[in-house]
Amino acid sequence: MKQSFFLRNNQIKQNAIDFIRSLETRDDKPLMIEIKESKRTLEQNSKLWAMLKDISEQVVWHGYKLTSEEWKDFFTASMKKLKTVPDIEGRGFIAVGLSTRSMSIKDMTFMIELMTAFGTENNVKFKEVLPDEYQRFAR
């Protein structure tokens, strides 16, 4: 059994409380309740990949032309201050722990702001305007 509540107002909060009270509890089969921020929105994900495409087409970084996926890793590593380790053959380094899949709305907003600042500093012309939905989450 899985149930999710998006706590946007007191009525939804009360519905969640009522649901929890209705659950049967057993010592041998405990249930887990997890409270966490919502993951990134589909709009944020679309915005992310549009921006990554623009950056990959317009920026050469220290002589390297990176793919959108490589730029995603670049920004994620920068944002999360990730550790780098030598690759298997010892010819380069990789950042470990890269993932945007489970980023919260807040983290994804920060990532997009980081990319916007980077793009501005590197004369990237972004093709898309921020949608109203993204603007709402950015506040």
- CATH of residue 92's domain is 1.10.3790.10
With respect to residue 21, please indicate whether it lies within any of the assigned structural domains: no
With respect to residue 3, please indicate whether it lies within any of the assigned structural domains: no
The structure tokens listed for 41 are 């929105």
With respect to residue 74, please indicate whether it lies within any of the assigned structural domains: yes
pLDDT tens-place string over residues 1-60: 788 888 889 999 999 999 999 999 999 989 888 888 777 778 888 888 999 999 999 999
pLDDT at residue 139 above 50?
no
pLDDT at residue 118 above 80?
yes
With respect to residue 8, please indicate whether it lies within any of the assigned structural domains: no
**pTM, two decimal places:** 0.58
Range of the domain at 90: 42-138
Q: Residue 132 is inside which H or E element, if any?
A: helix 132-138
Eight-state DSSP code of residue 39: B
DSSP secondary structure string, 23-49? Answer: S---TTS-------PPBPPHHHHHHHH
With respect to residue 102, please indicate whether it lies within any of the assigned structural domains: yes
Instruction: Specify which residues 61 forms β-bridges with.
Output: 64
Residue 3 CA to residue 23 CA, distance in Å, equals 11
Q: How many domains does the chain have?
A: 1
With respect to residue 36, please indicate whether it lies within any of the assigned structural domains: no
Percent of the residues in the chain that have a pLDDT greater than 90, as a whole number:
33
